[in-house]
């Protein structure tokens, strides 16, 4: 199992106060079983980390998607900071190997419990903020969270078609048309290719498992080609 020293090397964050890092991974059940120690659980750090994480994600989305309306930004942020996403981030870095649990919590599978892992991830963000500052939090997010957003891991929460409609009609009242130009693959694993055109000129191509997904990917590509998003 990984220790806190090798973990710091892996994430390239070296704590001045390592006890803060250890606290981020300390569950209340561990503290309850070790009352003679000065250990604190991670609940207060989780509270702080939740707010810091929202800010870190919010400022990235604000800059990355200048054409996205407030409602869509809120929806996208919610899909990134939700429990399921935080668990995936924690799993990617093997957070479960470092969690300090009480014996009872350990025996009932707490180490892999989604809510617990999500809480630890937020607590870790809080600890990084307190020890190294917001810039270091952003550096961490740039390595482990922002690339997933950029790659489209949360595209299910984005409405690129609406963004494209707003972008195109801001400067000119042009007609946008979507067309499924090809279907390929067996019935159980169908793939669709969509073209989006403006004034009969193709501006984006997308591939998806459904027609809707292909059209959204085409709209996303069109926005990238237009310089509306990166």
Cα angle 69-71-73, degrees, rounded to a multiple of 5:
70
Tell me the sheet residues that pair with 208: 192
Among this protein's residues, is 122 annotated catalytic?
yes
The two tokens of residue 220 are 């996303």
Is position 40 annotated as part of the catalytic site?
no
Residue with tokens 């809480």: 119
Give me the catalytic one of 41, 46, 72, 122.
122
* CB-based burial label for 39 (10 Å; 0-12, 13-18, 19+): middle
Instruction: Give the Cα separation of 115 and 99 in Å (integer).
Output: 13
Cα distances (Å, whole numbers) of residue 30 to 21, 45, 46, 141: 15, 16, 16, 28
Selected catalytic residue, list 50, 72, 105, 119: 50
Rg (CA), the chain: 22
| DSSP 8-state assignment for residue 67 | T
Q: How far is Cα 197 from Cα 219, in angstroms, rounded to an integer?
A: 9
User: Whole-angstrom Cα distance, residue 64 to residue 228?
Assistant: 9
Q: How many helices (H) and strands (E) does the chain have?
A: 12, 3
Q: Catalytic residue numbers?
A: 50, 122
């Amino acid at each position: 199992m990984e220790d806190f020293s090798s973990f710091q090397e892996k994430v390239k964050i070296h704590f001045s106060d390592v006890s803060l890092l250890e606290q981020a991974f300390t569950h209340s059940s561990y503290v309850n079983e070790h009352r003679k120690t000065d250990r604190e659980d991670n609940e207060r750090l989780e509270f702080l980390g939740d707010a810091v994480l929202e800010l870190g994600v919010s400022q990235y989305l604000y800059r990355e998607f200048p054409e996205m309306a407030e409602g869509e930004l809120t929806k996208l942020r919610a899909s990134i900071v939700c429990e399921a996403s935080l668990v995936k981030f924690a799993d990617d870095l093997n957070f479960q190997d470092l969690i300090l649990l009480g014996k009872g919590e350990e025996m009932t599978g707490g180490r892999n419990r989604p809510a617990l892992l999500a809480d630890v991830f937020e607590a870790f963000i809080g600890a990084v903020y307190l020890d190294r500052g917001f810039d270091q939090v952003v550096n961490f997010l740039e390595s482990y969270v922002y690339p997933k957003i950029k790659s489209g891991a949360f595209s299910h929460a984005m409405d690129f078609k609406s963004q494209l409609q707003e972008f195109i009609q801001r400067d000119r009242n042009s007609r946008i048309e979507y067309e499924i130009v090809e279907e390929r693959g067996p019935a159980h694993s169908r793939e669709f290719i969509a073209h989006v055109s403006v004034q009969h000129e193709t501006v984006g191509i997308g591939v998806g498992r459904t027609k809707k997904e292909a059209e959204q990917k085409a709209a996303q590509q069109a926005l990238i080609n237009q310089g509306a998003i990166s």
